[in-house]
Amino acid sequence: MSLHRRKFLKNSFVLASGSLLQSANFRFQPEGKIITVNGPIDASQMGMTLVHEHVQVDFIGADKVNPGRYNADEIFNTVLPYLQQIRNAGCKTFIDCTPPWLGRDVKILKRLSDTTGLNIITNTGYYGASADKFLPASVKTSVADEIAAIWTDEAIKGIDNTGIKPGFMKLGLDNVPFSHSIEKILKAASITYLKTGLPIGVHTTRGGEPAKKELQLLNDWGDPADRWIWIHAQNEKEINYHIELAKKGAWISLDGISKSNVADNINTLQQLKKEKLLHKILLSQDAGWYNIGEAGGGKFRNYMDFFDSFLPALKKSGFSETEIHQLTFVNPSLAFTLNVKR
Ligand SMILES: [Zn+2]
């Protein structure tokens, strides 16, 4: 089957599932594979999912970050009760968005998954936001193909000889115009996507313009919009950007939910519901984390606001069980399903 034909079928499938989900009590059973730190699972096993959270982060910078800066047992013991809390609240899958060079430790994630029974998903990719502070120096002297080869290797063989594989790519960038390094890592993501089918999540805090540029570049390189996740889309206050990009097929990640902004998030969701775009929205909190370098990991923001404050308010605001199922399970499973075509 030609690439265009496949793309056409795939896009029509996504559109069809979206519009079906808008109607009545239809319950969509997702298909395909999701890659967790314990290997692949069926998308239908994903269950209620938090798409953007953190277990640990180290902001020291790519030139100094290393596992010698923390005690793995201390991080495990600190974070475990917080994950048990969400497991007991009905969460099934936890997506960890800490990229390499910012403290990603997949062995700790696997231990936490084994102990809690939560599916945990990790990532590959480079975080180019904050003016290259978290990019390895090699990015400057590498071409996109070489960077893609590193990420593809993690996807195929596993990360640092652990056999643990990433379930998506996590990138980060600042505003337009993009630097050479940023264009290079976006290109590397596009190459990696074609080889591995891993979705591309991009931390984009500077609003709709860089988001539009990302999607345009990825489209120019032949990637379908529905493999791209606009992370931190809530930072853009002009809803027309979300509407425009979601209509093109992109995933809009509203991942800053906390008990202090429940009303704002519900208001955004109501506007997107009016546009019949709930099938393109992802929700999470960007909460946690053990902050490496601070005593005891510093102040930890637990993951419970979503369950204690946000979901009850969503129900009260007239969102149906079907819509909540769609936002918290169906959408994540569609966004994070591996798109293996070759
Ligand atoms: Zn984050």
CATH of the domain at 253: 3.20.20.140
Residue 140 is assigned to a structural domain of this protein: yes
Asked if 58 and 290 touch (Cβ cutoff 8 Å), the reply is no
CA of 97 to the centre of ligand 1 (A): 6
In order of 80, 170, 211, the CA distances from 56 in angstroms are 12, 15, 26
- Report how far residue 183's alpha carbon sits from residue 144's, in angstroms, rounded to the nearest whole number: 9
CA of 159 to the centre of ligand 1 (A): 20
CA of 342 to the centre of ligand 1 (A): 31
The dihedral over CA atoms of 56, 301, 331, 312, expressed in degrees to the nearest 10, equals 160
Residue 147 is assigned to a structural domain of this protein: yes
Q: Which helix (H) or strand (E) holds 168?
A: strand 168-173
CA of 286 to the centre of ligand 1 (A): 5
CA of 160 to the centre of ligand 1 (A): 22
Q: Count CB-CB contacts under 10 A for residue 207.
A: 17
Owning domain of residue 125: 48-336
CA of 297 to the centre of ligand 1 (A): 16
pLDDT of residue 130: 87
CA of 189 to the centre of ligand 1 (A): 18
Residue 29 is assigned to a structural domain of this protein: no
pLDDT of residue 119: 98
Residue 40 is assigned to a structural domain of this protein: no
Residue 161 is assigned to a structural domain of this protein: yes
Residue 291 is assigned to a structural domain of this protein: yes
pLDDT in tens, 42-57: 999 999 999 999 999 9
Residue 228 is assigned to a structural domain of this protein: yes
> Digits of tens for pLDDT over the chain (342 positions)?
444 444 444 443 444 344 444 443 445 556 789 999 999 999 999 999 999 999 999 999 999 999 999 999 999 999 999 999 999 999 999 999 999 999 999 999 999 999 999 999 999 999 998 888 999 999 999 999 999 999 999 999 999 999 999 999 999 999 999 999 999 999 999 999 999 999 999 999 999 999 999 999 999 999 989 999 999 999 999 999 999 999 999 999 999 999 999 999 999 999 999 999 999 999 999 999 999 999 999 999 999 999 999 999 999 999 999 999 999 999 999 999 998 753
Residue 59 is assigned to a structural domain of this protein: yes
pLDDT of residue 2: 41
CA of 16 to the centre of ligand 1 (A): 31
In the chain, the number of structural domains is: 1
CA of 100 to the centre of ligand 1 (A): 13
CA of 137 to the centre of ligand 1 (A): 22
CA of 217 to the centre of ligand 1 (A): 23
CA of 7 to the centre of ligand 1 (A): 30
CA of 163 to the centre of ligand 1 (A): 24
